[in-house]
Chains A and B, each alone.
Chain A
Amino acid sequence: MPRFDEGRPEMTLEEFRLLRDHVYAHCGILIHENMKFVMERRLWPRLEALGIQDFGSYHRYLRYDAQRSAELEAAVESLTTHETYFFREPAQLKAFCEELVPILEKRNAHTRRLRLWSAGCSSGEEAYTLAMLLKESGRFDDWDVEVLGTDLSRRVLAVARRAEYGPSALRATPPDLLERYFIPVGVNRVRVRDDVKAWVNFGHHNLSDVAGSQLVPRSDVVFCRNVMIYFDLAARRRVLGVIRDRLCPGGYLLLGHAENLLSLGADFELVHLKGDLVYRRPELPGGEGR
């Protein structure tokens, strides 16, 4: 029986490091040495698409070709796992709804304005989930609400804007919410309802790009779940700096269940909710910056 990868070029350790360093310099994503096989496998289709014979040539293509910027984006897209689905990590979402949402309603009652940022939103499931949960709470019906989803990959943002999903994305969606917030559009496919879409915006953003982060509005809550896993310590600190800057004082940061800010300094306060641990940007003295 033939192997899966017959006829494909192998990536030398040297090529791996050159490509890894190039990707890291671009977006802070660090690929560990034990992931060489994964990198090789994920980049094969790129070599095939470009008609390039080996990974050394691919590295030179990324450095010199006129299309290098677009190709670097394509490479990073291939290297990151865009695995997400609606209502992922329900315990955290429950804590958000039951404990943070009432606080946000009270805090922002005078402005009736709410901003959430889904950083590393992939194909949009998380951003739409948040909008649905806010709708579900019934607290913000006549508020100015925006959930901003950002991602490094332009391709997944296109999927997010289309807002059409299949069974895999919906595998954790409760049936009643499926009925309330989605419209069937074909066999096994649904589209997010327009009133939910109206609360959600998407944009391209490299979390490592400190200057570019100025385009992200100040948010009351940032969801940055399962994104930090791609960064090394230095890049995590940089990204956390960006997030802290874009959070309103007193605003909350929610990470994935396997992530924490230990050994990253303590620019955030750890807040023990009943159902989860979350982080909060400390209030400024005297409440300024609200």
Chain B
Amino acid sequence: MSDTMQSPAGQEEARYRALQAVDPRAPSALETFTTGLHDESWRVRHAAAEGLRRVPDAPGVTARLISVLGERGETGARNAAAEALAGMGPVAVPPLVHLLEHEDPDQRKLAADILGQLGRPEVEDVLLRALSDDDLNVRVAAAEALGRMGGDAAARALEGLLDAPTLLLRLAALEGLASLKRAPPLERVMALVEDPGVQRSALRLLGLYAPGVATERICRALASPVRSVREAALVALGKQAVGLGPYERGELDAVARSVLSGIPGVTAHVAQALDGDDVRVRAGALVAAGALGEASLAVAVAEVAREDRLLREVLFTLGQLGPEGRRLLLGSMGTLSLPARTVAAEALVLLVDSTSVPELCALLEWAEDDLRAVVVRALGRTHSPDAVAPLVELLSDPTLSAMAARALEQLTVAHPLEALAALEAAVEQRTTPAAVAVLGRLGGARVLPVLRRIARDEDASWRAAAVEAAGRADGEAGLELARGALADESPKVRIAAVRSLGQQGGREAATFLGLALKDEDRGVRVAAVEAVGVAGAKERSPDLEALVRHGDGALAMLAVRALTKLGTVGTGVLWDALSHHDAEVVKAALPALGSAEASADGAALAMSLLGHPRWDVRVAAARVLGGMGRPECLPALQQAMSVEQDALAQVALAEAVVRLSGR
């Protein structure tokens, strides 16, 4: 044997692999795995516990595991057996309930622990009885188990334990009620907050109450010299703030502000908590920081954005820190982490005015696109003519050009001449074709000569931009340029022509779109299908109907949408669409079922889709049926609801049932 295999690690590996290789159906598997439960290595014990779950004789396995629980002195084996039992599911419930009657309190405690992990509601009564066990540890274990999975009776029982003479039971009751999200009468918890032994658990439970008295008590706890108490208070404060509407949140903030502002050194405590490890503490610290409105916390607040889950609260809090807080952020941009910088920039957008352009342009030096996107939006909001030049320059950035174009549109309202001059200069200097598009949109007929010239450019991107821009600038000239562009050798230009024709509408455009629907390039055909719908070209409906059967999901889906927009979807086409292999085509067709023409067969078709393998199709079908107002569909919807597994589809079905039942 090699050295490796003789080493302790090698031997452990060998035992681990040997267990993994055991066939769970073999007659000796039960004993082999049971032996493995007693191994010195946790990895081997874990493998044994997993192996036991795969042995087909579940009752036999459960009985064996229960016997291992009784092996005093074999702590590792007992824990592994408990782990295995917790993973066995309902089959483990009867023997564990039986074990709750064992004479050894240690056994009864283990039984309660595992029943809690199994989380089966049917054992609630048994665990409630265990609350009267002679042994304190069993009573505590039962209370903890009820806190994991109990219902109304469990909550009432735990509430009854709040006055228990034993600290451990009071603690288990408080923690259990918090876990069950059951709030007992407020005065009972308020009394317990004064008990140092259970103060932290009581504080956390206070987080379940509406803003008001509970908020006040929670915030007073932030004066505690004990960090863990302050953290428990912050967890509660964060919990209280979750899901509040604007009015209730305002109430919470007002109460918190009045208490916190009187606590010396609270800002330092909040700053420390904002930098803590526990996400729940940080969430509460954000609420406290916002209520305090303390601008000096702005950087620490922004840094909490490193935790994705708290992004919403960070943005809300930054909004509460006022202009001074946002100015502090601006000054700290260089040292903030990337996520903090992004939210700081968002906050900045609200602050900008006509003097902010230089600061914003400095921020554009940062490499991150998401941050730069925010800055582009902010530039548009400055209403300053100084923002025109940087925005025109940004039109050449592929990631930002669409946003820069929209920001320029905002600026053009106040400074049309400056914007047009800058755009014309950019076009003359061939900065970017994107400038042509914006020029056409903002300049109207006066820029047509420029657009006609560019439509003959040797670069296809420039020709395409000119053709599309001309369509927006002037209908007649747009149509003329688009017709020529349909014969362009570049698909990019033909797509621009198709889009322009879609915007124009009319008989002539419809004729040209008919040609584009047969284009050799898929991209042109896709654009043409969309354009037919936009143009309202009903005469092209037969072409679209043929495309509904196309194997390319994009073409088929767009054809259905275009036909729906034109109002020319026939039952035959619908049937084709609804049996398409691509779920997006099916979903696109579903809304058309409600139309007058299709409604006779539509209900039957939609009902057939309630059994579709895709959840999103079932959701769409339920919504359509709900909107059709045909009570005869009710039984089918109810039947579908009774077997539906998907949560979103269940909601859609329930809504449809309610709508139809109410008619």
Contacts and interface: CB of A to CB of B under 8 A. Distances in A.
Contacts of B402: 48-51
Interface stretch (B305-313, B420-428, B636-644): B305-313
B477 interface: no
Contact of B349 (A4, A64, A167): A4
B554 interface: yes
Interface string B1-40: 0101100011011001000000000000000000000000
Contacts of A51: 402
B373 A48 contact: yes
A63 B319 contact: no
Contact of B337 (A1, A83, A270): A83
A65 B349 CA distance: 32
Contact of B13 (A14, A17, A269, A270): A269
Contact of B373 (A2, A45, A171, A269): A45
Contacts of B526: 64
Given A1-B350, A167-B334, A286-B4, A13 B557 contact: no
B103 to A, nearest CB: 34
A42 B347 CA distance: 15
B334 A188 contact: yes
A58 interface: no
A267 B619 CA distance: 41
Given A60-B584, A85-B337, A168-B338, A286 B523 contact: no
Contacts of B553: 63-64
Nearest to A59: B584
A192 B373 CA distance: 28
A42 B370 contact: yes
Contacts, number: 107
Contacts of B16: 266
Contact of B312 (A14, A37, A64, A82): A37
A269 B41 CA distance: 11
Interface string A36-69: 0110011001001111000000001001111000
Contacts of A85: 337
Interface string B513-550: 00000000011001000000000000000000000000
B328 interface: no
Contacts of A78: 370
A270 B584 CA distance: 47
A176 B43 CA distance: 42
Contact of B648 (A2, A17, A65): A17
Contacts of A283: 4, 9-10, 13
Contact of B335 (A18, A81, A171, A266): A171
A50 B337 CA distance: 27
A168 B334 contact: yes
A34 interface: yes
B406 interface: yes
A66 B2 CA distance: 57
A37 B2 CA distance: 56
B471 to A, nearest CB: 15
B604 to A, nearest CB: 24
Contacts of B615: 17
Nearest to A187: B334
B523 A66 contact: yes
B311 A38 contact: yes
B4 A287 contact: yes
B47 interface: yes
Interface of B: 2, 4-5, 9-10, 12-13, 16, 43, 46-47, 306, 308-309, 311-312, 315, 319, 334-339, 341, 346-347, 349-350, 367, 369-370, 373, 399-403, 406, 522-523, 526, 553-554, 557, 584, 615-616, 619, 648
19 contacts: A13-B648, A14-B616, A14-B648, A34-B309, A35-B309, A37-B312, A48-B402, A63-B584, A83-B338, A85-B337, A166-B334, A168-B334, A168-B337, A283-B9, A284-B4, A285-B5, A286-B4, A286-B5, A287-B4
Interface of A: 1-2, 4, 13-14, 17-18, 34-35, 37-38, 41-42, 45, 48-51, 60, 63-66, 78, 81-83, 85, 155, 159, 166-168, 171, 188, 266, 269-270, 282-287
